[in-house]
Amino acid sequence: MCPMREPVPESDGRPSGPGAVPAAGLVAEGLACRRGGRLVFCGLSFRLPPGGALVLTGPNGSGKSSLLRLLAGLAFQQAGTLSWNGLAVDDCREAYRRALAYVGHLDAVKPALTAHDNLAFWAALSSGKAVGDRVAAALAAFGLTALAGLPGRYLSAGQRRRLSLARLLLGEARLWLLDEPTVALDAASLSLLEAAIARHRAGGGLVVLATHVPPPLEAPVRLDLDDFAPRGEDAEWWGFQGVDADTA
């Protein structure tokens, strides 16, 4: 079987060691994932406390997006466990879902709605009511105030990406899951994202992001998915186990 391995933190040692499981935060133990009939990774473990950032790297197909989908509850692991604030996610799934916000590859911007109304829609969807002040603050945080009245169809790729990321600021999610959040962002927009992440972490929020170009974050934990690729006997043994995450 694939051995259990954990990422090594940078200088400040944000994740705790194997013998000191944090009382709060996100913990994965021995995760394995199969997609499209292929085992993508196995033996993957990490511990991320409040205020932590986990940066997922690795070549295309190494499982960065697959891991984010597992963490978001959009797919199921073939093996291993996931816990949130000391409880198995399976035992607190509703609370866990309320605690997370996921931004994937697609921007999910409705072309007929203005930038403001796109965010108002997401605010109402997540909280059951539109929150005007929060929408205005989210637009401002990502430099979109001047574009608030512009329909989504007229926004550039970078502007749509910023609008999609602004959704993170509409609710009270403690865990942000971001798939390639820096795509299409220029230097100024990247600085806005970094500032939003820094504020979120300062308040005890957690961030897991997948990227080929890691943004300059303070003391992140870096996890190379290629280190958890099944090889040799591992791949042969797992070939007889379980079902795809796609179909679970």
**What pLDDT is recorded for position 245?**
47
Q: Phi, psi (5° rounding) for residue 96?
A: -65, -45
Question: Looking at residues 107-135, what average pLDDT do you find?
Answer: 87
Segment 126-176, tens digit of pLDDT: 766 657 889 999 999 999 999 999 999 999 999 999 999 999 999 899 999
Closest CA to 31 of 238, 178, 240, 222: 238
Q: 142 vs 103, 114, 125, 137, 148, CA distance in Å?
A: 15, 15, 21, 9, 11
Residue 99 has pLDDT above 70, yes or no: yes
Question: Looking at residues 92-116, what average pLDDT do you find?
Answer: 95
Residue 88 has pLDDT above 90, yes or no: yes
Chain centre distance of CA 191: 19
**What pLDDT is recorded for position 126?**
75
Residue with tokens 């060691």: 17
Question: Looking at residues 37-45, what average pLDDT do you find?
Answer: 94
Residue 248 has pLDDT above 50, yes or no: no
Q: 179 vs 12, 20, 133, 140, CA distance in Å?
A: 25, 29, 27, 22
Segment 172-208, tens digit of pLDDT: 999 999 999 999 999 999 999 999 999 999 999 999 9
Residue 242 has pLDDT above 50, yes or no: no
How does residue 37 score in pLDDT terms, banded at 50, 70 and 90?
confident
Length of the chain: 248
Do residues 147 and 115 touch, judged by C-beta distance below 8 A? yes
How does residue 23 score in pLDDT terms, banded at 50, 70 and 90?
low
**What pLDDT is recorded for position 97?**
95
DSSP 147: G
Domains of the chain (ranges, CATH numbers)? 50-74+93-225 (3.40.50.300)
**What pLDDT is recorded for position 46?**
97
Question: Looking at residues 114-136, what average pLDDT do you find?
Answer: 85
Show Cβ contacts of residue 184 under 8 Å, excluding neighbours closer than 6 positions: 156, 157, 158, 160, 161
Q: Are strands 38-48 and 26-35 parallel, antiparallel or unpaired?
A: antiparallel
- Output 218 or 20, whichever has higher pLDDT: 218
**What pLDDT is recorded for position 234?**
56
Question: Looking at residues 223-230, what average pLDDT do you find?
Answer: 96
Percent of the chain's residues with pLDDT above 90: 73
**What pLDDT is recorded for position 243?**
42
